[in-house]
Amino acid sequence: LAYRINAYSKPTLILRTLENYLGWETMQKVMSTYFSRWKFKHPRPQDFFQVVNEVSGQDMSWFFQQTYASSNVFDYAVDRVKVEMVRPPRGYVEQDGAYQFSSGRAPQDTSRKDTTLYRATVYLARWGEGIFPIEVKFTFADGEEILETWNGRDRWIRYQYVRPAKLVKVEIDPRRVLVLDVNTVNNSWIARPPARTAAWKWATKWMVWLQHTMESFVLFM
């Protein structure tokens, strides 16, 4: 079982992640160059790595050191999300160089129907040892979307936004570049998920557990 995973499953995920990161056209050039240069010969893994660096124009050593030379696991997750209404300060506050009393109520603005603001605080975590740059997409109730790029190096990172609409969805790696992520269930957060979405997430968790159980059972056959 371990041989099958290391010889087939893991290399497939490595190559797919590499293709997603470099782009389909670049990956096709990599494979074409590698085939032309090493056909009917006996290449080593390092020879393939060299072709990738040469064709892509990037030093991908950081990627191969983690995926080939180590057993690092990739697992990024939405750890905590807090959405709260922003309330004006109450009491004496400094404004325009003078202290004025504030009742803590939002000022009336006749030009807008709703002046309520919401603060969204999101904590993302890296639970695995693998490090990979990932995208994070934040979606708000009014349709606004914000796309951030996290280098993925720290164990956790915090994002905070103040918007006139509530945060309703957080997605780590929305384009599914890092297919090596061992647990995609924790890659998203949805505010009050619909019953169908919640059922799908629980079904996915159950399928992952079932797959691991069946693979373990094979060891005793």
Summarize pLDDT for 196-206 with one digit per residue, the tens: 555 666 666 66
Q: Which two tokens stand for residue 105?
A: 């109520």
Percentage of the chain surpassing pLDDT 70? 71
Give the pLDDT band of residue 192 (cuts 50, 70, 90).
confident
**Listed residue (25, 30, 67) closest to 47, CA to CA:** 30
**Residue 214 vs residues 83, 182, 183, 208: alpha-carbon distances, Å:** 40, 17, 17, 10
207 is written with which tokens? 């399928």
Average pLDDT over residues 169-175: 98
The pTM for the full model equals 0.75
Q: Judge whether 189 and 170 are in contact, CB under 8 Å.
A: yes
For 114, the token pair is: 């709703």
